[in-house]
């Protein structure tokens, strides 16, 4: 028999599309439909069910953008369908090619109990299996007309991303509302043929197995009566039994399937819509778990569980029951699947604290894994944080998106900056929305880098972002591939089962040291500047609030705001989600984020102000509070009477135009263009600025990436650059504080920039405050500092330390990092002298190196650091970053790493002045500036214990004495969740603990209340 695969494939496709799939529902009868449109925002379920409905016909356009329509569908099961499997088929106007990015629905019974979600690949609702005939059917559908933002031309600007600009045009057409007979035999034939047809396409041309399956498919199609598919389906299935029963060899690659629905906590929809997406998906998955006894579904993000607990308790009850059975698995142990590059040290720690604690409190479950399939790269400080939270594994997928270098492992140990190693897995299936297609399964087996020494991988399986999760079709396909010759084997397992087995199988995996840099989405370090500034400011306000509230509580008995701080932390953590903080969400999300950050700042400032006033007491002395971990003005994390003013810095005119600023430590020359042409370290007799160059140079680039506008910046943006050297104003600025300062105003395009360059008394740094009224489109604004430093690497602050990156491009791995992340500082150094550039709110930057040759060149090296200030992408928010922005940077010549750490804290934690009676001694003092206190707070369990988290910040070994100025009954080492670590306790004498720390070591101390 001729078995040309291509001919059989063509025949199979047509017969499936035109005859067999339509026969899955051989009989149907229309349902009656009526609708009530909710005014404004979504309403509670009971209100939606009670809405006054009006009749509506199939074919009607419905749903203004972001509105909610409550459909009521009613009908009667025909008596002649008695004994048959009957379903309602409810198509709201779905596009099956785009699950998760369009309209969705949640089906309720008249009593308000949830049934399941409606999604493009999940349009059915079971009525009876079997039906008795004559049943009255009444279903209510809460239908969300979320507009399609990510269309087939995904990067076109659209006003649909905010309800305030989206208009009222109906988005969808009601397509089908029927009662149908479901022919399970035909449906199973579809699954049989799809699995085998997809497998054949992946087998080698000369494979005996390929020919065997091709012949079986051909026989099966011969057995189909095209005029009576339902009557002949059983016979057609019989022809496939043998090839579906041939088991896979013991050497086959093994795939652990984990039911999954990756749901972005905000992205192309607002936060309020994610609440409903989660409810729809969990309603779907709990229903599917009841039908499929082997199925396992994993769901991450404690915030999403908390949302349905608060807003959809009827769905949450089903979730809790499924968790208790071990079928629905809370995964990841984080509050949200956050970005991991930009969150500060404490924020990254608190993601695990709040996530793991929620899962323990709600379900009695502690997660061993971090679950971050979609996050845009991973900071090198993360392994230590995962371990300190009591976890030991990491799963991600996104690194497979890198566009330049292919990551060399799928299973490996990841080593962080302190030497901590975390067992890590990248699923070789290369998707976190696996649908069990043969091409996906074959790709996982072929692609797996560790074949030969390991043979296990994981496949997150299901449609995310509102696509409804795993489908019954996915489960059916997985069942057929449990052991099928020619295919990898597939079995449903929990993440813990997979990691336990994979780690046992591969006890000595390869090691990757340092950050997991994603060679894509680099512009997320800059897009939506005000969201990033809100995050940075919130992190530091939370530090201050905890510090002063704890001090006031222990010193004065003032109440500690446990509930307020817990709530605010969770809000900040939510906004670190990997499409909010990175600036890649729609306008609505960022508009709300700006308002949220403003509200948070008000609340935290009230907490800080109240605590400081309680500590200061009644008096007329001006006290200066220092919240930074390093001594400033003679005070370390306390308050002292304002010092006598230092001798003022001097300002004079510069020969050739411009001004000279001098405070005895630095002499800074600003030329007639408002650029810094000299920053001279007087004690070191060392120039900072590269000869022939100028710093504080604004530079503007065209910025139109090949795709993913808000996410990406492509290296070719550097091909064109405009130096913004024209000035509208250059004049001295009298700040009234003894500073020497110059004001510079520039106009470019339709934007303006105003800068103040300031040299304060006794500070060895030049402060640069920049205000930009930004109205550009598809442009990238940077601030350049060309430095006379010869260094082949530089340091960028990351969580609990810093990471080194190359200044050169020797390899493609180094060249790919043309835009990278830093927190509060970058630092470059020769062996005896260095420079720091610190900031209060920017993350993206680039560092390049060039040799000064040619005319006027001295052969030395110029290393240029550029801070990324603003972008202007038009998708998904067409008005990204338009408006006024303020940034604060500082150039610190002669700075060591230790200095850079201190300067970075000082610029982000400005002093506060309060009228009071007496100085406030620090609650905790550390005698080594290399050891930094990252948090000082009362224990979350409201015991009144004092928690101090600190770390070694310079990358060296360090000894430190930590002294607490409050009665304490003992001290223990704890994990991030403030739980004791074993029986070992530090020596504690006269309120002092002596520590010896490894480079970048993180330590949490808990002092028991006396």
DSSP per position, 213-229: HHHHHHHHHHH--TT-H
Who has greater pLDDT, 736 or 413? 413
Across the range 872-898, mean pLDDT stands at 98
The predicted-structure confidence for 220-238, as pLDDT tens digits, reads as follows: 999 999 999 999 999 999 9
Across the range 878-907, mean pLDDT stands at 98
Across the range 48-77, mean pLDDT stands at 98
- Sign of the CA dihedral 133, 139, 145, 149? negative
Instruction: Please calculate the CA angle 67-70-75 and round it to the nearest 5 degrees.
Output: 150
What is the rounded distance in angstroms from the CA atom of residue 479 to the CA atom of residue 473? 10
Q: pLDDT at position 854, please?
A: 66
Q: For residue 108, what are the contacts with CB-CB under 8 A and spacing of at least 6?
A: 45, 49, 114, 115, 139, 140, 141, 142
pLDDT beyond 80 at 746? yes
- Is 975 a known active-site residue? no
pLDDT beyond 60 at 18? yes
Q: pLDDT at position 246, please?
A: 98
pLDDT beyond 60 at 161? yes
Sheet holding 912-916, edge to edge: 639-641, 621-625, 912-916
Q: Which residues pair with 980 in a beta bridge?
A: 974
Strand-pair category, 176-181 with 28-30: antiparallel
The predicted-structure confidence for 551-569, as pLDDT tens digits, reads as follows: 999 999 999 999 999 999 9
Can you state the angle between helices 302-311 and 562-574, rounded to 10 degrees?
Answer: 110
Confidence of residue 870 (pLDDT cuts 50, 70, 90): very high
Q: pLDDT at position 644, please?
A: 77
pLDDT beyond 90 at 909? yes
The predicted-structure confidence for 915-963, as pLDDT tens digits, reads as follows: 999 999 999 999 999 999 999 999 999 999 999 999 999 999 999 999 9
Q: Which pTM does this prediction carry?
A: 0.97
Report the chain's C-alpha Rg in angstroms: 31
> In this predicted structure, which of 57-71, 134-148, 801-815, 977-991 has the lowest mean pLDDT?
977-991
Confidence of residue 618 (pLDDT cuts 50, 70, 90): very high
How remote is the C-alpha of 937 from its chain's centroid?
26
H or E element in which residue 422 lies: strand 421-425
Instruction: Please calculate the CA angle 443-446-451 and round it to the nearest 5 degrees.
Output: 135
pLDDT beyond 90 at 151? no
Confidence of residue 643 (pLDDT cuts 50, 70, 90): confident
Across the range 199-204, mean pLDDT stands at 96
Answer for the pair 674, 727: CB distance below 8 angstroms, yes or no: yes
Length of the chain: 1010
Confidence of residue 533 (pLDDT cuts 50, 70, 90): very high
Who has greater pLDDT, 414 or 985? 414
pLDDT beyond 50 at 384? yes
The predicted-structure confidence for 822-860, as pLDDT tens digits, reads as follows: 999 999 999 999 999 999 999 999 999 999 876 557 778
Across the range 777-785, mean pLDDT stands at 98
pLDDT beyond 50 at 1005? yes
Task: Determine which one of 368, 374, 662, 671 is catalytic.
Answer: 374
Q: pLDDT at position 855, please?
A: 53
What is the rounded distance in angstroms from the CA atom of residue 237 to the CA atom of residue 216? 10
Q: What are the φ/ψ torsions at residue 808 (nearest 5 degrees)?
A: -110, 180
Q: To 10 degrees, the CA torsion angle through 422, 426, 432, 436?
A: -130
The predicted-structure confidence for 315-349, as pLDDT tens digits, reads as follows: 999 999 999 999 999 999 999 999 999 999 999 99
Other Cβ atoms within 10 Å of 973 Cβ, number: 16
**Strand positions, DSSP E, 707-851:** 722-723, 729-732, 740-748, 751-759, 766-774, 779-787, 793-798, 801-806, 820-821, 825-830, 833-839, 844-851
What does each C-alpha distance from 276 to 198, 270, 307, 463, 883 come to in angstroms? 34, 11, 9, 16, 32
Name the percent of the chain lying above pLDDT 90.
95
Other Cβ atoms within 10 Å of 451 Cβ, number: 14
pLDDT beyond 50 at 1? no
If you average pLDDT over every residue of the chain, what do you get?
Answer: 96
Confidence of residue 984 (pLDDT cuts 50, 70, 90): confident
Answer for the pair 437, 195: CB distance below 8 angstroms, yes or no: no
Q: pLDDT at position 3, please?
A: 54
Q: pLDDT at position 97, please?
A: 86
Across the range 503-507, mean pLDDT stands at 97
Q: pLDDT at position 335, please?
A: 98
Q: What are the φ/ψ torsions at residue 822 (nearest 5 degrees)?
A: -135, 160
pLDDT beyond 60 at 974? yes
């Amino acid at each position: 028999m001729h078995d040309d695969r291509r001919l059989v494939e063509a025949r199979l496709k047509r017969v499936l599309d035109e005859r067999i799939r339509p026969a899955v529902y051989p009989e149907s009868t229309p349902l009656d439909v009526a609708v009530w449109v909710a005014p404004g925002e979504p309403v509670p379920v009971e209100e939606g069910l009670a809405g006054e409905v009006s009749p509506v016909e199939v074919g009607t356009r419905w749903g203004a953008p972001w509105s909610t329509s409550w459909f009521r569908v009613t009908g009667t099961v025909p008596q002649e369908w008695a004994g048959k499997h009957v379903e309602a088929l409810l198509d709201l106007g779905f596009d099956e090619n785009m699950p998760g990015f369009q309209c969705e629905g949640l089906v309720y019974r008249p009593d308000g109990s949830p049934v399941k979600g409606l999604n493009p690949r999940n349009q059915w609702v079971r009525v009876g299996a079997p039906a008795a005939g004559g049943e009255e059917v009444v279903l209510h559908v809460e239908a969300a007309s979320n507009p399609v933002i990510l269309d087939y031309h995904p990067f076109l600007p659209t006003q649909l991303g905010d309800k305030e600009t989206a208009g009222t045009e109906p988005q969808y057409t009601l397509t089908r509302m029927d009662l149908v007979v479901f022919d399970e035999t035909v449906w199973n034939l579809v699954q049989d043929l799809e699995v085998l047809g997809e497998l054949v396409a992946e087998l080698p041309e000369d494979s005996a197995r390929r020919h065997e399956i091709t012949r079986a498919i051909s026989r099966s199609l011969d057995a189909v009566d095209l005029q009576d598919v339902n009557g002949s389906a059983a016979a057609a299935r019989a022809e496939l039994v043998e090839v579906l029963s041939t088991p896979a060899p013991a050497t086959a690659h093994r795939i652990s399937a984990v039911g999954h629905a990756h749901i972005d906590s905000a992205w192309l929809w607002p936060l309020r819509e994610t609440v409903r997406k989660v409810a729809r998906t969990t309603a779907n998955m709990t229903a599917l778990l009841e039908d499929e006894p082997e199925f396992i579904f994993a769901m991450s993000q404690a915030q999403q569980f908390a949302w349905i607990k608060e807003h959809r308790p009827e769905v949450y009850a089903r979730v809790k029951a499924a968790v208790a059975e071990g079928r629905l698995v809370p995964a990841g142990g984080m509050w949200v699947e956050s970005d991991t590059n930009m969150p500060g040290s404490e924020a990254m720690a608190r993601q695990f604290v709040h996530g793991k604690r929620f899962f323990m409190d709600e379900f009695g479950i502690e997660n061993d894994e971090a679950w971050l399939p979609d996050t845009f790269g991973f900071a090198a400080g993360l392994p230590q944080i995962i371990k300190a939270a009591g976890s030991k594994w990491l799963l991600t997928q996104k690194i497979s998106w890198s566009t330049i270098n292919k990551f060399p492992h799928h299973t490996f140990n990841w080593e962080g900056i302190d030497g901590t190693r975390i067992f890590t897995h990248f699923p070789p299936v290369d998707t976190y929305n696996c649908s069990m297609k043969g091409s996906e399964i074959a790709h996982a087996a072929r692609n797996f880098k560790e074949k030969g020494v390991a043979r296990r991988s994981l496949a997150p399986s299901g449609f995310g972002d509102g696509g409804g999760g795993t489908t019954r079709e996915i489960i059916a396909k997985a069942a057929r591939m449990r052991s099928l010759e020619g295919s990898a084997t597939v079995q449903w397992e929990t993440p813990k089962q997979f990691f336990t087995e994979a780690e046992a199988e591969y006890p000595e995996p390869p090691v990757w040291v340092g950050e997991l840099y994603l060679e894509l989405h680099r512009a997320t370090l800059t897009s939506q500047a005000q969201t990033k500034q809100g995050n940075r400011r919130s992190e530091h306000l939370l530090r201050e609030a905890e510090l002063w509230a704890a001090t006031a509580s222990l010193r004065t008995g003032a109440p500690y705001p446990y509930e307020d701080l817990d709530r605010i932390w969770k809000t900040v953590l939510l906004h670190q989600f990997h499409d909010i903080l990175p600036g890649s969400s729609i306008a609505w999300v960022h508009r709300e984020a700006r308002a949220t950050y403003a509200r948070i700042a008000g609340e935290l400032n009230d907490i800080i102000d109240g605590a400081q006033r309680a500590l200061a007491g009644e008096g007329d002395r001006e006290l200066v509070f220092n919240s930074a971990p390093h001594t400033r003005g003679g005070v370390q994390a306390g308050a002292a009477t304002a010092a006598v003013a230092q001798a003022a810095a001097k300002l004079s005119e510069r020969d050739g135009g411009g001004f000279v600023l001098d405070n005895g430590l630095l002499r800074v020359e600003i030329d007639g263009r408002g650029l810094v042409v000299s920053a001279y370290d007087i004690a070191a007799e060392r120039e900072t600025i590269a000869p022939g160059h100028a710093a504080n140079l604004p530079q503007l680039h065209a910025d139109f990436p090949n795709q993913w506008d808000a996410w990406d910046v492509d290296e070719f943006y550097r091909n064109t650059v405009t130096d913004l050297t024209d000035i509208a104003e250059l004049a001295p600025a009298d700040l009234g504080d003894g500073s020497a300062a110059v004001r510079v105003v520039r106009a470019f395009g339709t934007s303006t920039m105003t800068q103040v360059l300031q040299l304060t008394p006794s500070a060895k740094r030049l402060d640069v405050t920049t205000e930009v009224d930004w109205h550009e489109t598809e442009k990238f604004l940077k601030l350049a500092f060309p430095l006379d430093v010869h260094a082949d690497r530089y340091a960028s602050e990351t969580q609990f330390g810093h990471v080194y990156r190359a200044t050169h491009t020797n390899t493609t791995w180094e060249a790919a990092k043309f835009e990278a992340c830093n927190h509060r500082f970058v630092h470059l150094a020769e062996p005896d002298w260095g420079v720091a550039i610190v900031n209060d709110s920017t993350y993206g930057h680039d560092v390049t190196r060039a040799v000064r040759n040619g005319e006027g060149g001295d052969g030395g090296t110029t290393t240029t650091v550029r801070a990324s200030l603003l972008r202007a992408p038009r998708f998904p928010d067409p008005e990204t970053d338009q408006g006024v922005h303020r940034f604060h940077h500082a150039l610190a010549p002669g700075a060591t790493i230790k200095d850079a750490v201190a300067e970075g804290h000082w610029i982000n934690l400005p002093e506060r002045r309060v009228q009071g009676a007496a100085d406030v001694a620090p609650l905790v003092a550390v005698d080594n500036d290399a050891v930094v206190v990252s948090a000082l707070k009362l224990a979350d369990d409201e015991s009144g214990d004092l928690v101090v988290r600190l770390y070694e910040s310079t990358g060296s070994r360090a000894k430190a004495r930590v002294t607490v100025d409050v009665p304490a009954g003992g001290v223990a080492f704890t994990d991030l969740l403030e739980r004791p670590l074993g029986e070992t306790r530090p020596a504690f004498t006269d309120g002092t603990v002596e520590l010896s720390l490894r480079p970048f070591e993180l330590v949490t101390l808990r002092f028991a209340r006396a």
